[in-house]
Amino acid sequence: MNNLTQSEKNNIAKSKSDDAPNPTPQADMIARGVATGVAVSMIIHTGRGIVGAMNKSPVIMFGLGIVAGYFAHKYRKEIIATSRKAAEESRDFMSRQKDHLQNLTAEPPEETDAPKSLH
C-alpha cells in the first residue's frame, strides 16, 4: 500500500467514507439542536459568572457605565439615524399590512357578465 500514488490513496479514502452510512436529515437536525443547546448553556453559564462578578464591584459597574456613555455619545448620530430609519420602516410595514388586510376583507365585486338566476 506504500507504493500507491496520492490520488489512489485519496480514492481509497473516499470509497471508505462513501461506505459509511449518511445520517438522516432528522438525525442531523437533532445533532444541530443538541450542539445549539450546549452552546447556549455555556454562554448563559459564562454570562452569569461575568455579571455576578460585575455586581460585586461597584467600581466595575461605574466603569462600564462610563464606557457605555462614551460610546453612546460617540455614535449618537448613527444611533439616531438608525432609530429614525427603523421607525420609518415600521410605519411603512404597518401601512402595507393595513392595506393587505383591507384587500383581504373587502367584498369581491359582483360579476355583471354572469347570467342571473331565475328565483
pTM of the model: 0.41
Residue 8 counted as domain residue: no
**CA separation for the pair 74, 68 (Å, rounded):** 10
| pLDDT tops 60 at residue 55 | yes
The pLDDT, as a whole number, for residue 114 is: 58
| pLDDT tops 60 at residue 28 | yes
**CA separation for the pair 68, 79 (Å, rounded):** 13
**Quick one: 72 and 51 in the same domain?**
no
Q: Which residue range(s) make up the domain with 45?
A: 23-56
Residue 32 counted as domain residue: yes
**CA separation for the pair 82, 77 (Å, rounded):** 9
Q: What proportion of the chain, given as a percentage, has pLDDT over 70? A: 71
**Quick one: 51 and 85 in the same domain?**
no
The pLDDT, as a whole number, for residue 70 is: 96
The three cell numbers locating residue 90: 415600521
